[in-house]
Amino acid sequence: PEELRKIWVGWHDTGAPMRQKYVRFIELQNIGAKELGYKDTGELWRAGYDMTPAEFSVELERAWTQLQPLYDELFTYVRTRLIAKYGKAAERADGKIPAQLLGNMWAQEWGNIYDIVAPTDPKLAQYKPVNLEEALKKQIAAKDPAAAAAFASGTDLTSDAGQDAKTAAGKAMVRYGESFFTSLGFPALPATFWERSQFIHPRDRDVVCHASAWDLDSVDDLRVKMCIEVNDDYFTTVHHELGHNFYQRAYNKQPFLFRGGANDGFHEAIGDAVALSITPSYLKALGLSESEPPAEADIPLQLRTALDKIAFLPFALALDKWRWGVFSGEIKPADYNKAWWELRGKYQKVAPPVDRSETDFDAGAKMHVPANVPYARYYLARIYQFQFYKAMCDASGYKGPLNRCSFFASKPAGDKLAKMLEAGQSQPWQQTLKEMTGSDHLDAQAMADYFAPLYEWLKMQNAKK
């Protein structure tokens, strides 16, 4: 915990120098938003959803009340297990979890601490979710000699040969994502994608590594810009980014104004909905796992998934609640940091590892704040992706527990997805959602259904102590 604390503090030190500039940045944006007829920029951001900004805020809260009981159980379970591991360093009198212990710099996704919180009951403990990092490295090295050197000890990764090997490994990662989309019937990515994308951190200059996906010409010049490493997180991220690229390509026949996601949450949800199909049986089909675990193994796997998917929701909500408050003036510059931790404490129940003050600017240490990328889109996406996933599972003819469905290679699922993507922004998103899922609103039910077995299990674990 001591080491994690130091790393956390070091990262968050990057925020402070931005604090004054951020105050001015907010003022300038609000001038623009007012000129466009909005009260402030937060209202402008909330106005992009075919409903009033006030209705939009209510929608987000409504979905949160659907999922909060599951978050609470997950939180209690994780806190207990962290205290069992770290003792006093994980225990606070106010019941919050110290943010540096959750396996992610922003405590936004907790899957990296799976090993610490994995079930101990031997009946379940025998089912370890596959070590994807290991399996990917092994498979990529075996299939692609040019990439193998990237994992071999003794390779100088800054040499020309080392850079080539890392690039080959990065491309191999993206190929997994591409092959999922082509299995659904989408055409392969163009040759220029492979020539013009940035797949790894270049050795000779500083770049923004935060993954992004680009459509340069609305014809077919699609690219990603990432710094890929071969591990679990990046396996998910390549699918996420390709979701953007396949969406961009699908709506580029629309008139200019309609070339966009049905709303920004849709854009963020496509690749993730596809990645939910990365089930044990899919990994087995790919040769990334040897066996397909039985039904009892669903709890460990669901726990691993929930650590990423469920834990994320209150983080995303807190982030944009903070920005809306900052834009409206309800949160004054003198209280930026205090309000930040109040909201993170209220929704996520996490706390900073060391005392913070108003010389700090911890929100600034999250890329989307200085880069000014709205964040409610990711909250929506976390919920929509389960709605989309269920719709595509149904289209594929799948029957059975939702969390075991993979619609890999299903043409009907692909056709359904293509139709939604091609519509772009040409009609209200409610209509697009209805055509895709039968429902015209954000609905956390599919997500709750997916995790229903885990919810029951967590309640039992938490009742035990």
Chain residues that interact with ligand X8Z, rule: CB under 6 A:
211-212, 237, 240, 378
Closest by CA position to 75, among listed 322, 301, 317, 345 = 345
Q: State in angstroms the smallest separation of the CB of 49 from ligand X8Z.
A: 18
- Which does residue 378 touch among ligand X8Z, Zn ion, none (CB within 5 to 8 A, set by kind)? ligand X8Z
Beta partners for 215? 222
Q: Which residues pair with 198 in a beta bridge?
A: 225
Binding partner selected for residue 68 from Zn ion, ligand X8Z, none, CB under the kind-specific 5 to 8 Å limit: none
The CA–CA distances, whole Å, from 361 to 37, 290, 336 equal 30, 47, 7
Which residue, 210 or 419, has its beta carbon nearer to Zn ion? Answer: 210
Which is closer to ligand X8Z, CB of 83 or CB of 227?
Answer: 227
How far apart (Å, rounded) are the C-alpha atoms in residues 143 and 278? 20
Q: How far is the CB of 357 from ligand X8Z (least distance, A)?
A: 25
**Distance of closest approach, residue 241 Cβ to Zn ion, in angstroms:** 7
Q: Which does 215 bind (CB under 5 to 8 A by kind): Zn ion, ligand X8Z, none?
A: none
Q: Which residue is nearest to Zn ion (CB)?
A: 268
* Least distance (Å) between residue 209 CB and ligand X8Z: 10
Q: How many residues bind Zn ion (CB under 5 A)?
A: 1
Burial classification of residue 359, based on how many CB atoms lie within 10 Å of its CB (0-12 exposed, 13-18 middle, 19 or more buried): exposed
Tell me how far, at minimum, the Cβ of 240 lies from ligand X8Z, in Å.
Answer: 6
Of the pair 268, 360, the CB lying nearest Zn ion is at 268
Nearest in space to 180 (alpha carbons), one of 421, 417, 398, 436: 417
CA distance 298 to 315: 26
Cβ nearer to Zn ion, comparing 271 with 353: 271
User: Among residues 272 and 298, whose Cβ is nearest to Zn ion?
Assistant: 272
Structure-derived torsion over alpha carbons of residues 325, 327, 329, 334, reported in degrees to the nearest 10:
80
Which is nearer to ligand X8Z, 305 or 461 (by Cβ)?
305
Residue 241 CB, nearest distance to ligand X8Z (Å)? 7
CA distance 410 to 285: 14
Binding pattern for the stretch 252-291 against Zn ion, x by CB under 5 A and - elsewhere: ----------------x-----------------------
Q: What is the H or E stretch that residue 434 is in?
A: helix 429-437
Contacts of 435 (CB under 8 A, 6+ apart): 419, 420, 423
Q: What residue ranges bind Zn ion (CB under 5 A)? A: 268
